[in-house]
Structure formats: C-alpha cells, structure tokens
Amino acid sequence: MLLAVLVLACGSAARAEDGAGRYPQARGFFPEADRFGAFEGEPRAAPAFRGERLLGYLFLTNDVVQIPAYSGRPINSLVGLDLVGRITGVAIVEHEEPILAVGISEERLRVFTDQYVGKSAFDSITVGAPREGYVAVDTISGATITVMVQNATITRAARRVAESRGLRPGSTASAAAQGAQAGAPVTAQGDEAQAGAPQAAPPDTSAAAARPDAVVPAAVEEPLWKQAWRERTGRIALLVLGLLALAGILVFQDWLARQPTLLWYVRRGFLLYTLFFIGWFALAQLSVMHVLTFAHAFMHDFRWENFLIDPMLFILWGFVALTLLLWGRGVYCGWLCPYGALQELGNQVAQRFGVKQLEFPDVVHERLWAVKYLVLIVLFGVSLQSLGEAARYAEVEPFKTTIVMGFQREWPFVLYAAALLGVALFNRKFFCKYLCPLGAALSIPGRFRVFDWWLRRRKECGRPCQTCARECEVRAIRPTGEINANECHYCLDCQVTYYNENKCMPLVERKRRHERASRAREVVHAMESHAGAMGLQEPEERERGERR
C-alpha cells in the first residue's frame, strides 16, 4: 500500500511537472499563482490556482493548432489566459525557424510577444499596418512571414482554449469568475473549475448573441497563405512586372546587345530595382536555407502551403526555376540577387573613382570556384540533422545581415558583411564567385537546361581572341573560349562585344578587309577618272586598269 501511495504521488508530481513546472515563464504569467495543474482536456490546458481559487489557464500552442512556419515546422509557444480571456503572457519555447535561431535577439522576441499581454483571445489581431476591425501589433523587421505565422498560431489557439473552457469577455462572464468574485470556493476537477455549483455547460452559440457578454463564434479560419497573398497585392504586382521586364530583356537580348548604351542603362536600372525593391523593401532575398528547407520538406512532409505563405519568395523561386531550365544559374545571380546587385553597383562606383582591381591567377581562380560547393555540402549535411543548426552555419551568407536586417545586428555579423563588401570593391563579386552556397546550389539544376541558344560565340573565340575572357566580370570564360555556364552571371557584356565591330577580333578583321577593298576600288576609280579626263587611255589600257 505504501508503494502504491508513493507511485500515485510520483505520478501526480510528474503530471504537475508536465504542467507549469517545466516552464518557469508561467510564474510571470500568473504572479499570484501558488500551484498549477497538469495539461489535460481537449484542447490541453493547465489551470493556475491561488489556493483554491482558479486564476486562468496555461497552454502550449502545439497542443491546439499547428501552423507550419517557413521551416516547415510550427512555432510552439506557452500562452496564459485569465478567466475573461485576456492573454497574460506569451513565450516561445520551441521552434526551428532560421530567422529566429540566428538574427533575431531574445530582447526583440520578448518585445514582440509582450504586445499580446492584455489583449483578448476574442480580438482579431493583425501584424503591421492597422486594419479596420483589427487590433494591430508591430512586426519584427526581417521576419515578417514568421511573425504572421506566430500571430495566427497565438490568436487561433487562444480563442479555441477560451471557448472550450467557457470563458467570456467581461468581469462576470464565466461561472468560474462569478464564483471567484462571490468568494465561493473554487476547486479543480481535471481542467475545469467549479464554483460551489456544477460547471456551466459550453455556451449555446445560437443564443449567445442575445447576451451582452456573448462571444460571436469564430468564422471559418482562412488559410494563412491566402491572407498573405491578399495583403501583398501591390508588392506582388510590382514583382511580376519586374520579372516580365526581365523576361523581355532575355528574349530580346540580341537586339539589346547591339544597343550598348541602352543596355547599360537597362541593366543598371534593373540592378537598382533588384537592390531597393526586391531586397530592402520586399525582403525577397533568396538564401541557401530556402533550398535546404525545400529539400527537407521534400524528404519528409512536403506541402505547398508551407511555401505559399511568402508570396514574394514563392513567385521569385518559380521564375528562377523556369530560367534555370532555359538560361541557367546566371539569370538569378546576375539580375535578381539583391546582394549580388549591391556588390556589382559598389564595384562600378569604385572603378569610377579609380580603385585598382585585383585578380587571382587563373590556376588559383579556378581552384577557388570549388569552395562554394564545399560550403554547400557541409550545410546540406548539417541540415539533415537540424535545420536550426544549419541556419547558424548558413551565416556564411551575409544576405540576412545586409539585405533582410539592414545591418541592424550584432557587430560581428555587421563586420563580416562589411568586410565582404569591401573586398568586392577590389575584386568584382568576390563572394558570388568563390563563397556563395546558393550559387553552388543553383548551378546543379542549371546543368540540365533545355536549350543551348543562350549566349553566342564565334569559332575564333579563345583561338586566338581573348577579348571577352579579359572583360568577363566574373571570369567565367575560359582561355580556350568556352563559357562556363555554372559560373556565368549573364551580364551580356560578352554579347555586346560579340556584335561590336570595333572590339570583336573576327569583326575587326572583316571590317579591315572591307575597308581595304573599298579603298582599292576608290583608287582604281580615281585613276580611271583621271585618265578619262586627260584623254590618254586607250581601250586596251582601260581594260588593264579595270583588271587591276
């Protein structure tokens, strides 16, 4: 009997420990509480007590709703609710979000979650700009989609728990609250509270509207990705227009290459669009973490909804996938990467001020190409174990610091990103050429492009002409004349040279031959005219002159 009592006592202690004992944050949610029950019921929640008086409930969002974030996994948060459905605290206890693992400080997370304290489980809460009929909370810069998922998770879970426990807005709404205010003893049975009388039945929603403290039943919950697409209609339109413009540039690249001045303005203008709109405004900087997340989802539980929650990234990835098959990796790396655009524009400004460019010897340059593939392999291996850990190693990409967070990070990250940009002033697109794991990942499917009509070459290219090889910004043209499609950034500079009769050696030679022939014809014509004018040319001499 003693053993049985000990087992039951240990079991009860374990059940209590499974409640608030595991989460010290719960004490801050209910400072008056002296004990907490276990997580029980449907949905699971743990009651908080002061003596025999019920104060509210704790619950884990994963026990109520599971909305996948960008990692493909939900964000699990501990939430407190008082007896009138007010949120008393929120704390993230488990997640695999890359942006939260590395990039968002604990202080910024705390400031965000503290915004929910005091808001009702029955409020409609929106993130960012205020909307009519909604309570607004501020977002976290650089983590907009993750914050949207977190907001939907907290609000939907809180409402379900509140409705399941019969909570009502207002100080006298629930039976438990009425009992507590009247001083009647409140005892816990399972998850529910009783106030000197049987627990009130779940509300009759058909009659609820007749009561002042009634709660309107929750509407059918709209998929989060639909909300995200609807709220970003303007940005989506601008992105689609930009991608259509780029598609036109690629289709009519031969005509543009014959208009070098126009192409110069078109390309620089598009790079500015990429940097400021796609990058710093829309925060649509692709990353190797997106590739790893997609691979992870493909191997486990793939669902399109996980990727549709960020419309800008989804559309951009779709366009990149298409161009990989038609033109290869270079379209994204040369035109659509905000960080790549920043490096290229910075290098052009540096050259305008006479900054000397430093290049590695060919043998070193071609060996350094392999570094980014090694980085990709390491990241992929780590991601098989943990996406969160892979996100830490993926900080080799300075994209998050430079583009997504606008240098608003701890100084080691800022120093690293600034150093890479500094190197790019002396060595054009240094990071892209040698270190970028995203570029390495894109080059793999780029090998399977369907067509080979992308960049034009002549038989003299490389043998002996080296003009394009010397001018290539990323040194993707080999001394033998071939373009390395895995390294080409599709800047079209070589195509401008291809059509330039003053730079392309075969065209220069053809032009010279044409000019020599024209001069010879002019000399003959002049001689004939002179002889005819003097009347000295006999028919036989005229015939010989024509032959000459």
What value, to the nearest 5°, has the Cα angle with vertex 174 and ends 169 and 177? 100
State the pLDDT at residue 59. 94
Asked if omega into 412 is within 30° of 0 (cis), the reply is no
Write out the two tokens for 410.
Answer: 């701890």
Exposure string (b/e) for 372-392, b if CB count within 10 Å is 16 or more? bbebbeebbebbeeebbebbe
Tell me how far apart the alpha carbons of residues 263 and 397 are, in angstroms, rounded to a whole number.
30
pLDDT of residue 101: 58
pLDDT of residue 2: 55
| Ordered alpha helix ranges (H), 139-287 | 144-164, 175-182, 205-208, 224-231, 233-251, 253-257, 260-273
Give the chain's end-to-end CA distance (angstroms, integer): 129
Q: Using pLDDT thresholds of 50, 70 and 90, give the confidence band for residue 176.
A: very low
Question: How far apart are alpha carbons 279 and 526 in whole angstroms?
Answer: 64
Q: What one-character-per-residue DSSP string does 43-66 give? A: TTBEEEEETTEEEEEEEEGGGT--
What value does the mean pLDDT take over residues 33-59?
A: 92
pLDDT computed for residue 302 by the predictor: 78
Q: Where are the alpha helices (DSSP H) in 131-190?
A: 144-164, 175-182
- Average the pLDDT over 364-380 and give the result: 94
**pLDDT for 74:** 84
Pull the structure tokens for residue 116. 């929910």
Distance CA(513)–CA(531), nearest Å, equals 27
Which of 297-301, 532-536, 538-542 has the lowest average pLDDT? 538-542
Mean pLDDT computed over 271-286: 94
Q: Which residue has the higher pLDDT, 538 or 285?
A: 285
> Pick the residue with more confidence: 323 or 2?
323
pLDDT score, position 94: 81
Mean pLDDT of 337-353: 95
547 or 502, greater pLDDT: 502
Mean pLDDT of 340-364: 93
Burial class (CB in 10 A: 0-12, 13-18, 19+), 7: exposed
Q: What is the pLDDT of residue 202?
A: 38
Whether residue 141 contacts residue 111, with contact meaning beta carbons closer than 8 Å, is answered with no
Q: What is the pLDDT of residues 142-166, one digit of tens each?
A: 677 778 888 989 999 999 999 999 8
How many of the other CB atoms lie within 10 Å of CB of 547? 7
CA distance 452 to 334: 18
**For 434-449, what is the mean pLDDT?**
89
Q: Binning pLDDT at 50, 70 and 90, where does residue 371 land?
A: very high
- More confident of the two residues 218 and 21: 21
Residue 419: pLDDT over 60: yes
Sign of CA dihedral 459, 463, 468, 474: positive
pLDDT at residue 453 in the model: 62
Enter the tokens of residue 519: 């001069």
The CA–CA distances, whole Å, from 113 to 109, 407, 413 equal 6, 23, 25
Q: Is the separation of the CB atoms in 309 and 148 below 8 Å?
A: yes
Mapping DSSP to helix (H, G, I), strand (E, B) and coil, where does residue 414 land? helix
Section 454-466 average pLDDT: 85
Tell me how far CA of residue 4 lies from CA of 15, 37, 502, in angstroms: 16, 21, 97
pLDDT of residue 539: 57
Instruction: Please state the φ and ψ torsions of residue 479, each to the nearest 5 degrees.
Output: -60, -25
pTM of the model: 0.76
Span 398-418, average pLDDT: 91
User: Mean pLDDT lowest for which of 10-24, 125-139, 177-191, 378-392?
Assistant: 177-191
Please state, for a pLDDT cut of 70, what percent of the chain lies above it: 80
Please write the tens of the pLDDT for every residue from 470-481.
888 889 988 888
User: 193-230, pLDDT tens digit by residue?
Assistant: 333 333 333 333 333 333 334 444 444 567 888 888 98
CA distance 5 to 8: 5
147 by Cβ neighbours in 10 Å (0-12 / 13-18 / 19+) ranks as: buried
- pLDDT score at 242: 97
Identify the residue with better confidence: 453 or 16: 453
pLDDT above 70: residue 449:
yes
Nearest to 236 by CA among 311, 317, 336: 311
Q: What is the pLDDT of residue 19?
A: 54
- pLDDT at position 346 is 95
Q: Who's near 431: CB < 8 A, 6+ residues apart?
A: 339, 343, 398, 420, 423, 424
- Across all residues in the chain, what is the average pLDDT? 81
pLDDT given for residue 3 in this prediction: 53
pLDDT at position 84: 92
Q: What is the pLDDT of residue 529?
A: 76
Average pLDDT over residues 491-508: 89
398's CB contacts (< 8 A; 6+ apart) are 339, 413, 416, 417, 420, 421, 431
79-93, 297-311, 373-387: lowest mean pLDDT where? 297-311
Identity of the residue numbered 430: F
Task: Check: CB of residue 449 under 8 Å from CB of residue 324.
Answer: yes
- DSSP result, 353-412: TTPPP----HHHHHHHTHHHHHHHHHHHHHHHH-HHHHHHHGGGS-HIIIIISTT-S-HH
